[in-house]
Amino acid sequence: MDRASSSPTPRQPKVSLADVARLAGVSTQTVSRVANDSPAVRPETRERVLDAMRRSGYSPSFAGRSLKLNRYQAVGLAMSNVVSTGNVKRLGGIMEAAAQRGYAITLVQATDDAPEQIEEIERRMAALPVDAMIYNLNRRSLVDGFLAFVPQPRLRCVAFSSIAHPHLACIDADQAHCARSLTELLLARGHRSIRMVTGPEDSIAACQREQAWRETMVERGLDPSEPVRGDWSATSGYEAGSVIADDPSTTAVLVANDDMAMGVIEALRDHGRHVPHDVSVVGADDSLKWSVAKLELTSYAFDEREIGRLAFETAVGDAQGPALMLVPGTVVERSSVRDIS
């Protein structure tokens, strides 16, 4: 409890319903009715009350209303890492949906990793003015931690997670669809020797993308060669690209994200292999804001906004959706893939 240490921050004396009522010469209930657009008020009375509100500078008390209604018109959002691109777009989607419904979003920082902190967060959240929670748990351990520490959450909970959970509605991007679609695109363009540059081992997204690529290849009777592992960064992509450039049989590379794809392309070029003429490259996430040397990277875009919106609707909606919702995106075809005969 650091409550004691925080500054008091007193607010200005508020104008209450009673003040307005006195000013307008009516009862508080009538003022309440006007404030809530109840039709059971004579236009004349309503006008008098509205005028009193304006003159006194009345604004309703959130606390009073919430206490009475036991409802906050707000959704809590626990995020461990706001700063990644996908997260931010989701946040945008959540805010948009919230604004439409007249809800506010209450952010609380989930300090990374430590699974036992989930309990702390849940406890803090329970004392917060929110009707539901959205958890952005970017580590597998956090999802497990939630299960262990919050056997029965008090609020409705939604999590961005591709792993189902008994007490959480889970929503996430459909990673398998992403990798499968891109692999199929390359296959349709005649490529057979498709290598993959995957992400770090502890990334769920990377694993799922890798597995979907592997499955798609096997389904077509093709032998998926060993993927090259990167760490999502352009630099690691450059290293991966250098490895791949040495293998002349490879005609296409599926890279697990755009940043690495950038590095792969640069490495291939530095090794004398031109993209897309000699090697086709596809990325994923569609996160590039500019092109390198006029090459436009074919990628796969998730509608992160929509995923955020969906999470919000699940959190406040009446309908209980499926426990796990995987949202597919779409392939964005550009100029980094070439047909081969």
Partner DNA sequence: GCTTCAAATGTTAACGTTAACATCCGGTGA
Partner DNA sequence: TCACCGGATGTTAACGTTAACATTTGAAGC
Site for a copy of itself in 24-63 (CB under 8 A): 36-37, 57, 59-63
98 belongs to the binding site for a copy of itself (CB under 8 A): yes
Q: Does position 111 bind a copy of itself by CB under 8 A?
A: yes
Q: What whole-number distance in Å separates Cα of residue 294 and Cα of residue 287?
A: 16
* Calpha distance 233→240 (Å, rounded): 11
Residue choice 47, 51, 55, 64 for contact with DNA (CB under 7 A): 64
Report helix, strand or coil for 14: coil
Q: Which amino acid belongs to residue 142?
A: L
* Mask for 224-263, x = binds a copy of itself (CB under 8 A): ---------xxx-----------------------x--xx
The binder of 242, among a copy of itself, DNA, none, by C-beta within 5 to 8 A per type, is: none
Nearer to DNA, 25 or 321 (CB): 25
Nearest to a copy of itself of 151, 221 (CB atom): 151
**Cα R_g (the chain), whole angstroms:** 27
- Nearest approach in angstroms of CB 163 to a copy of itself is 26
Any bridge partners for residue 156, and if so which? Answer: 132
Q: How far apart are CA 311 and CA 135, in angstroms?
A: 10
76: left (phi over 0), alpha (psi -120 to 50) or beta: beta
CB distance 253 to 194 below 8 Å: yes
Please tell me the distance from the alpha carbon of residue 205 to that of residue 90, in angstroms, as a whole number: 16
Our finding on whether 295 is near a copy of itself (CB under 8 A) is no
Answer for the pair 106, 76: CB distance below 8 angstroms, yes or no. yes
Minimum distance from CB of 301 to DNA (Å)?
43
Specify the residue, 24 or 316, whose C-beta has the smaller distance to a copy of itself.
316
Residue selected from 32, 45, 108, 303 as contacting a copy of itself according to rule CB under 8 A: 108
Q: What is the DSSP letter of 296?
A: P
Q: Does 45 bind DNA (CB under 7 A)?
A: yes
Out of DNA, a copy of itself, none, what residue 40 binds, judged by CB under 5 to 8 A for its kind, is DNA
Residues 142-161 that bind a copy of itself (CB under 8 A): 154-155
Q: Which stretch binds DNA (CB under 7 A): 64-72, 76-84, 90-98, 182-190?
A: 64-72
- Integer Cα distance of 31 and 16 in angstroms: 10
Instruction: Compute the distance between CA of residue 167 and CA of residue 143 in angstroms, rounded to an integer.
Output: 11
Residues that bind DNA in the complex, under the rule CB under 7 A: 14, 16-18, 25-30, 32-33, 35-36, 39-42, 44-45, 58, 60-61, 63-65, 67-70
